[in-house]
Amino acid sequence: MTTPKHRPLGNSALIVPDICLGTMTFGEQTNEADAHAQLDFALAQGINFIDTAEMYAVPPRPETCGASETIVGRWLKHVPRDRVIIATKVAGPSRNLDWIRNGPPALDRTNIRAAIEGSLRRLQTDYIDLYQLHWPERNQPMFGQWQFDPDKERTCTPISEQLVALAELVREGKVRQIGVSNEHPWGIMEFRRIAAACGLPTIVSTQNAYNLLNRTFETGLAEVCHREQVGLLAYSPLAFGHLTGKYLADPATPGRLTQWPAFGQRYTKPNVAAAVAAYVDLAHRHGLTPTQLALGFVRSRWFVASTIIGASSLRQLQETLPATLTPLPESLLAEIDTIHLRYTNPAP
């Protein structure tokens, strides 16, 4: 098995592998012993980039809020801190997660500071390498929504105030770099513009969904992130398991989609099944598994700083990691584009 490549994250001095271990299953599908085994395995393979969030495990509920960070923290105290790059996120408002900081009502200074203190405590560390805003506070389409609706405008914390709050954490040494997640071009530009104008720390990454069924990043964000030197941390590379092909033959096959169907609404749109079938057929014709095709594709993109992979078990991670490292020839990438033009972003 080949090893991950390493590169700077955005325009920062933070060097990350091009594969990141996601932990949203930790504390729900994955028990602590298996989670620690996954972390050990990943680190042994050169994957020292770990992504978590204060709201994880997923699906979010009061009983498991913070569980993923807690599990990572118990592992982290037995590992040299400087060997590991820890990324976590502060939850934004308006997602009906009322058990997180009694709201959370805003991405203001009070909430950001409360969130970081909780994350540091659960992770048993005194700093976070990459601290991300989990989703924007402002009105914008996300998590499967695909149209902007100006009638849903609402009062929110100005981006300038969010940056000032994050700058305090950087100045205090609690955060090394800052990033965003589920962002759109306007947000990336505003964060970068305001930071430059006010002399504040700037974002170095955005964590967005990107896979064969959702290549919307390429339309506007790819240019913006290239010119602004913001790295993409690509999540959901297997499109909630759809791109493994396992739901084609049996829609009721065990998996996250059947266990929590509400989280699969993004994939109930027209052409999803047809697109998946086309990619599965393409993989088989080239002697690949559908998983190899899907993960190898994401890792091959020039704008992807790191592909976030997650697993419900060590065994699954041991199968997924080699698939992610599968190189895809240019001729195969061209065939992928042909299918993409036929079924363009069926699950944005």
The residue from 56, 210, 235, 267 that is catalytic is: 56
CA distances from 54 to 72, 164, 169, 240, 313 (A): 12, 21, 16, 21, 21
| 56 counts as catalytic | yes
CA separation for the pair 243, 213 (Å, rounded): 8
Helix (H, G, I), strand (E, B) or coil at 5: coil
Phi, psi of 316 (to 5 degrees): -65, -40
Angle, helix 272-285 to helix 290-300, in steps of 10 degrees: 100
Instruction: Return the closest-CA partner of residue 97 out of 88, 105, 89, 109.
Output: 105
Two structure tokens written together for 123? 């992770």
CA separation for the pair 301, 111 (Å, rounded): 35
Helix (H) or strand (E) holding 295: helix 290-300
CA separation for the pair 71, 38 (Å, rounded): 11
CA separation for the pair 268, 288 (Å, rounded): 26
Paired with 232 in beta bridges are 206, 304
Helix (H, G, I), strand (E, B) or coil at 28: coil
Two structure tokens written together for 341? 């033009």
DSSP state of 269: S
CA separation for the pair 332, 282 (Å, rounded): 9
Active site residues: 56
